[in-house]
Amino acid sequence: MEHPSVAVLGAGAMGEVLVGGLLRAGWRPDDLVLAARREERRAEVEETLGVTATLDAAGAAAGRDVVVVAVKPADVPTLLGQVAGAVTGSQTVLSMAAGVPTTRFEDALPGVPVVRAMPNTPAQIDQAITALCGGAHATEDSLVLAERVLSAVGSTIRLDEHHLDAVTAVSGTGPAYLFLLAEALTEAAIREGLPRHAAERLVRHTMRGAGMLLTAVDEGPRYLRAQVTSPGGTTAAAVHVLEERGFRALVEDAVRAAASRAREMGGG
């Protein structure tokens, strides 16, 4: 099944990005359907994406190979109430809801294979990294099906479910850490006298280049950092300040806070 039929329940940011990625990856509009909650948003995504959008989540889910849950965690119980009875064990439910365990879906949809996934926003340019895990009824086939869908917006990695809240804190939330660093670096550059347009361009391209280098070589960040750090040099001076002021501990605390919030939001 090269292009399984897909219903995306929740036409928000992630739902729209996923459908856009599926279209770019060769899915035909007829293979896809979106379910929205409000008429205004339904009409908007239908117009933007050229894919049928409906207010009837159960109707959208019925008979589709993959049923993607792309609503906020707090909206999952209502949505499950709407689609229970319309989804069968021959379909795969693919949830993106942060923190919500697969058992929550299995309780509402008995016998249905459930795959839980955590993508991130670089999905907008098909550069997501999405971690996924299978629930109690998920087979290798359902995992492969989910991977096929998620690969439309980037790479995938399989992990055990108990790791998913940590994944939310690392890669799900991770782009925001880098954006915050970009903001701070830009402001620092301006304080060093650079014109704003130059500061912004220098920071954007530095992050893009460093990110691409990090994924292009096997040695990892420590090696790459050592490469640009000569004793007594400029990088050493900067890194000394960051280490001295507790940069690592700060990152660790931030990740812990995000993981704990993911658990709370999922009710775990």
Ligand X SMILES: NC(=O)c1ccc[n+]([C@@H]2O[C@H](COP(=O)([O-])OP(=O)(O)OC[C@H]3O[C@@H](n4cnc5c(N)ncnc54)[C@H](OP(=O)(O)O)[C@@H]3O)[C@@H](O)[C@H]2O)c1
Positions touching ligand X (CB under 6 A) are 9-15, 35-38, 41, 57, 70-73, 75, 78-79, 82, 96-98, 118-121, 172
Q: Rg of the chain over CA atoms, in angstroms?
A: 21
Least distance from ligand X to the Cβ atom of residue 178, Å: 13
Give the burial string for 8-26 (b: 16+ CB within 10 Å, else e).
bbbbbebbbbbbbbbbeee
Cβ atoms of residues 98 and 116 within 8 Å: no
Closer to ligand X at the Cβ: 166 or 189? 166
Q: Is the dihedral of CA 153, 159, 160, 164 positive or negative?
A: negative
Closer to ligand X at the Cβ: 91 or 171? 171
Least distance from ligand X to the Cβ atom of residue 8, Å: 9
* Helices 174-191, 196-216: crossing angle, 10 deg rounding: 140
Cα–Cα separations (whole angstroms), residue 6 to 1, 23, 66, 181, 195:
12, 11, 5, 36, 47
Structure tokens at 86: 């319309």
Closer to ligand X at the Cβ: 112 or 169? 169
Closer to ligand X at the Cβ: 131 or 189? 131
The rounded distance, in Å, linking the Cα atoms of 144 and 36 is 27
Closer to ligand X at the Cβ: 82 or 229? 82
Closer to ligand X at the Cβ: 226 or 257? 257
The rounded distance, in Å, linking the Cα atoms of 181 and 176 is 8
Least distance from ligand X to the Cβ atom of residue 182, Å: 17
The residue written with tokens 């220098």 in the block is 202
Least distance from ligand X to the Cβ atom of residue 189, Å: 27
In this structure, how many other beta carbons lie within 10 angstroms of the beta carbon of residue 182? 15
The rounded distance, in Å, linking the Cα atoms of 89 and 77 is 19
**Residue of closest CB approach to ligand X:** 12
Least distance from ligand X to the Cβ atom of residue 240, Å: 34
Least distance from ligand X to the Cβ atom of residue 93, Å: 13
Closer to ligand X at the Cβ: 33 or 199? 33
Least distance from ligand X to the Cβ atom of residue 40, Å: 8
The rounded distance, in Å, linking the Cα atoms of 68 and 149 is 9
